[in-house]
Amino acid sequence: MNSIPNFMSDLYMNNIKAIIVDDESAARDVLHNLILRSKCAIDIIDHCIDIEQAVSAIKSKKPDVVFLDIQMPNYAGYEIASFFDSIDFEIIFVTAYDQYAIKAFELSAIDYLVKPINRLRLQEALDKLTERIEKTKDAERFHILMESMKEKKLGKIVISELGQKRIVSLSEIIAIEAKGAYSLIHLKKDDNLLVSKNLKHFESILPEGDVFFRAHKSWIISVKEVDSFNKNQGDIVLTNDVQARLSRNRMTDFEKIME
């Protein structure tokens, strides 16, 4: 194990997640197909027919970008801002009319597309989107790196969970349990996280010694979270009653650390 934050590369692994909002099904389908045929790695995770439905989908699915029609029933697309304390997703407006362009700029939208959508014009918007998201990820990565360097130790890691990027403090981790090609991260306060990384990945990025310890082929534990252990049975009881295993060939090293 080491404290070099090479986990930062995870920030670049997931496709951009997008939601399309338009009250016309044909328009949604056309845009969907054009995006799929583009050269950008974008997953369309939902279609919405109005602002109310879009707000619910955005809050639950956390998209990176929303393709938003302006003229819709009940609420215009640009009124979406009134439903959020802050906009933490990108917006690309799509409309048959261009007189609302000023509204797009007021919401700091990436771009403004006029129907019928031109493929080259859409690609320009998607290129802008990709560049902005990569810059955001760079800023996040730089912030964590600087924080770790300032503290002279790794304090947080970035976890990919169901396409989301989540920053987890090491102090919140009780243990990491192998689940085949996946790992189950046991946390103090939140639900456990199942992530598509094996234990070897976490072993390579977590600080060793008196912080984290590879106790078993299926377990990495936080030494500070040990409540008790049984040498004869090879059992370790951790915070929140997490039951881990201790290999016989790791027993001596474990006892030294616990002393």
Q: Which domains does the chain have, with CATH numbers?
A: 8-135 (3.40.50.2300), 155-258 (2.40.50.1020)
User: In terms of pLDDT, which residue wins out, 166 or 154?
Assistant: 166
User: In terms of pLDDT, which residue wins out, 12 or 218?
Assistant: 218
Question: What span, in angstroms and rounded, lies between the C-alpha atoms of 57 and 59?
Answer: 6
What's the pLDDT at 107? Answer: 60
Q: What is the pLDDT of residues 175-222, one digit of tens each?
A: 999 998 889 999 998 678 888 888 888 888 777 666 889 999 999 999
What's the pLDDT at 10? Answer: 41
pLDDT at 52 over 80: yes
Lowest mean pLDDT among 41-45, 81-85, 155-159, 190-194: 155-159
Q: Kindly state the average pLDDT of the residues 160-180.
A: 81
User: In terms of pLDDT, which residue wins out, 87 or 49?
Assistant: 49
pLDDT at 9 over 80: no
Question: What span, in angstroms and rounded, lies between the C-alpha atoms of 62 and 46?
Answer: 11
Question: What span, in angstroms and rounded, lies between the C-alpha atoms of 215 and 205?
Answer: 16
Task: List phi, psi (to 5°) of 134.
Answer: -65, -35
What's the pLDDT at 106? Answer: 55
Is-cis flag, bond preceding 116, omega within 30? yes
Output the CA–CA distances (angstroms, integers) from residue 134 to 92, 128, 130, 131, 145, in the order listed. 17, 10, 6, 5, 16
Q: What is the mean pLDDT of the chain?
A: 82
Give 28's pLDDT tier (boundaries 50, 70, 90): very high
User: In terms of pLDDT, which residue wins out, 164 or 175?
Assistant: 175
Output the CA–CA distances (angstroms, integers) from residue 195 to 59, 70, 171, 242, 250, in the order listed. 21, 37, 18, 18, 25
pLDDT at 68 over 60: yes
- pLDDT > 70: what percent of the chain? 79
What's the pLDDT at 147? Answer: 59
pLDDT at 223 over 50: yes
Rounded to 10 degrees, what is the CA torsion of 205, 161, 37, 18?
-130
CA dihedral for 136, 35, 9, 220, sign (positive or negative): positive
Say what the pTM is.
0.52
User: In terms of pLDDT, which residue wins out, 151 or 255?
Assistant: 255
Q: Kindly state the average pLDDT of the residues 146-152.
A: 50
pLDDT at 66 over 90: yes
Which residues contact residue 227 at a Cβ distance below 8 angstroms, ignoring those fewer than 6 apart?
237, 238, 239
Q: Kindly state the average pLDDT of the residues 118-124.
A: 94
The encoded tokens of residue 154 equal 């790794």
- What letter represents residue 191's amino acid? D
